């Protein structure tokens, strides 16, 4: 069994910051990529940021310069530092892990940006 435990979501005012964490545990072998996706109400799930085992990163244009993804390979944990948050960043944020055997998804954590 593999579990992805996400944390760090919540309510924040525009311009504020949040840090999301995603910890993978269980019978997981080699992890290739770790990433964060988000889904706003009525919208499709979209990639926010991803990072490879070699620390190469990829970001959605809408978050470049504001969000930073990082990972701790020893802990199988990925982080998403979100700064200068905007109302349009609101949504459920899901962690995705691409491993040798399959892809895994977290349960999602709500991020709400509102005054």
What is the spatial distance between Cα 89 and Cα 55, in angstroms, rounded to a whole number? 24
Backbone angles phi, psi at 103, to 5 degrees: -95, 145
- Spell out the SS3 assignment of 74-107: HHCEEEEEECCCCHHHCEEEEEEEEECCCEEECC
* pLDDT of amino acid 37: 98
69 pLDDT band, cuts 50/70/90, is: very high
pLDDT for residue 30 = 82
In angstroms, rounded to a whole number, what is the distance separating the alpha carbons of residues 2 and 104?
Answer: 8
| pLDDT at res. 105 | 95
Between CA 69 and CA 64 the distance in angstroms is 11
How high is the pLDDT of residue 68? 98
Query: What is the 8-class DSSP label of residue 61?
Result: G
8 A C-beta contact, residue 79 and residue 18: no
Pull the structure tokens for residue 82. Answer: 């979100």
């Amino acid at each position: 069994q593999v579990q992805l435990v996400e944390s760090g979501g919540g309510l924040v005012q525009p311009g504020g910051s949040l840090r999301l964490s995603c910890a993978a545990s269980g019978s997981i072998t080699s992890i290739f990529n770790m990433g964060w996706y988000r889904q706003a109400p009525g919208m499709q799930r979209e990639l926010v940021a991803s990072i490879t085992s070699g620390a190469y990163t990829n970001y959605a244009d809408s978050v470049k310069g504001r969000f930073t993804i990082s990972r701790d390979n020893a802990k199988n944990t990925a982080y998403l530092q979100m700064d200068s948050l905007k109302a349009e960043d609101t949504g459920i944020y899901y962690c995705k892990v691409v491993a040798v055997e399959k892809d895994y998804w977290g349960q999602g954590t709500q991020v709400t940006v509102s005054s």
